[in-house]
Amino acid sequence: MTELVAIDYLDEDAGEVFAQSLHDTGFGVLKNHPIRKTLVEDIYSEWLDWFLSADKQSFHFDPETQAGWFPAAVSETAKGAKKKDIKEYFHYYPGSPLPTRLRANIETYYQEANTLAATLLKWVQDHTPDDIRARYRQPLPQMIEDSDKTLLRVLHYPPMTGREEPGAVRAAAHGDINLLTILPASRVPGLQVMRKDESWLDVPSDFGTLIVNIGDMLQEASGGYYPSTIHRVINPTGDIVERSRISLPLFLHPRPDVVLSDRYTADEYLEERLRELGVK
């Protein structure tokens, strides 16, 4: 893997090229996709203001539903890592509490991103080799029908102060839990994906592109054909060290009852991983 090249969503062979990229690298980058740059831009701006306000204290997360604001003190520790990530974030599920002034854009984005994610999952289904597709207990698009588990996370990586715990990074090396993760490129670089030789490759941060990666559940369902590639967000250096970074990943989840493999249902897999992350 020498680089990730943006795939034109409008090309006739986009689905095939996209699925091949996911198989080869665990990642795909899309341009000319349906998610509007102006919507993402507005969300980045208004949520940065919100994270810098005292209003977030009124939306402390619910341990049962995992919805709401997670302060840095209780943020994730990546599986196998010893330091907490340097971040705070907000979890949104349909119907969960939202700051009133942020509701319109986030609900619109959630719907548009879910619609696009379903299309991308169909691309994966259609271009999976027959012998691998036979592993799926049901077609991939059916796994997300009527699912209320798909999570939109609004992440805030704060500016670096120089007082961070030694060895802590914005997001330690990890794999995602879900089927697919849909992520608009940030205006601030830092996302990296691990190559097969365990060196690190910068993921393009061209604003307006969309980054998609495989999660552990799709890796499980495909018997490893689609790899859940390890990735991380490194700490900034140079003139961007004092800049916040907002990120907007949508974690596409199946219904809890979906059977992923002989080993797991979706619910069993999710609960195991949440315990490993220390958030349950």
What is the per-residue pLDDT for 10? 97
Secondary structure of residue 154 in the 3-state scheme: strand
Secondary structure of residue 172 in the 3-state scheme: strand
Q: pLDDT of 200-222, one tens digit each?
A: 988 877 889 999 999 999 999 99
Q: Which residues pair with 92 in a beta bridge?
A: 152
Q: Are 147 and 253 in contact (CB under 8 A)?
A: yes
What is the per-residue pLDDT for 160? 78
What is the per-residue pLDDT for 132? 97
The conformation of residue 54, written as its DSSP 8-state character, comes to G
Q: pLDDT of 48-94, one tens digit each?
A: 999 999 999 999 999 889 999 999 888 767 676 678 888 899 999 99
What is the per-residue pLDDT for 78? 67
In this structure, what are the phi and psi dihedrals at residue 184, rounded to the nearest 5 degrees? -65, 140
Report the topology of domain 6-277: Jelly Rolls (2.60.120)
> Where along the chain do its domains lie?
6-277
